[in-house]
Amino acid sequence: WVGVCRELMRRDDVDRSDDWRPSARRERLVQRAALFASIREFFAVRSVLEVDTPALVRRGVTDVNLTAITARLDDQELFLHTSPEYAMKRLLAAGSGDIYQLCHAYRAEERSALHNPEFTMLEWYRLGFSMDELIEEVAALLDTAMQACGAAPRPLRRLRYRDACLQCFGVDPLEAPREKLAQLALEAGLTGEAAASLTRDGLLDFLVGVRLGPTLGDDCWLALTHYPASQAALAQLDPHDPAVALRFEMYADGVELANGFQELANAAEQAERFAADNRERAARGLPHRTADERLLAALHAGLPACSGVALGVDRALMIATGAERIDDVLPFTIEQA
């Protein structure tokens, strides 16, 4: 009997704690479910196939701006994917046709009001689409998501990266000397040590993230387009202006929602970009990441002409509901997992 009483007291202590409770209110969970349903209906009427690829993968990303979360299986180092991109491109090369995936993604980045290390990503690929056509579809998808949550649709605007930087910083991001970008970064709050350690692109990323990004997408969907060629990642270069890439990011209310490319299909060029990433990793003291040889093999076999985009679903739900923190739209945060 004494033992039973102690167990009941222990359970009562647990019951009095609020730590087990979800982060989001039930109202937000209902809106989250409605948003998921609207996404699936959006693609169903367009005959885009839903797919499901592994979250645990054998190759981490080489991108210096992404930090994959590692895992171990026996004596193997594995990674939780930062996005399903590589596996989805293998499906495209194998003849899948238009595809989308709604899944969790994992990034060991700074925990913030906009980022939880585990979050929900929507990624999709459209065969034969140009970057501009995909931008139109991203805006249409976001409007559908807004209406599912009881919010109003928004107009779409486009702004070139170069023009945006000229307006915000008064410098041409493609031509400004590194010293000028470092000066602007210091004025925006970057420490001298950090500014000295960053490349031109690192300084531009900081300036866009701290100064430019928060000004974009007031009451609209703002597509920031034509990033510098040095920031192409997995995008084609613009054949009319190879100094820039066919890459865009979508913003709303100062929040980055999506990152999209008119996809690079050249295996040799992509392999060189991965190698360049690893050279930059070495310069920054970051671990080497072996390039995904299966992705490169798929590109060599033939990726169909397409455009693709990854969209942060939790952030879109924040915009739709007016939530100020990602915690308010997640069932459980990393602290509660």
Helix spans in the chain (H): 2-16, 26-44, 85-93, 131-148, 161-169, 178-187, 192-197, 200-207, 267-284, 293-302, 313-321
Distance, C-alpha 159 to centroid of its chain: 19
Overall residue count recorded for the chain in this entry? 337
Residue with tokens 């999709």: 124
Cα(261)–Cα(303) distance, rounded to whole angstroms? 14
User: Digits of tens for pLDDT over the chain (337 positions)?
Assistant: 545 445 544 544 545 578 899 999 999 999 999 999 999 999 999 999 999 999 999 999 999 999 999 999 999 999 999 999 999 999 999 999 999 999 999 999 889 999 999 999 999 999 999 999 999 999 999 999 999 999 999 999 999 999 999 999 999 999 999 999 999 999 999 999 999 999 999 999 999 999 999 999 999 999 999 999 999 999 999 999 999 999 999 999 999 999 999 999 999 999 999 999 999 999 989 999 999 999 999 999 999 999 999 999 999 999 999 999 999 999 999 999 9
Closest C-alpha among 217, 221, 238, 247 to residue 310: 247
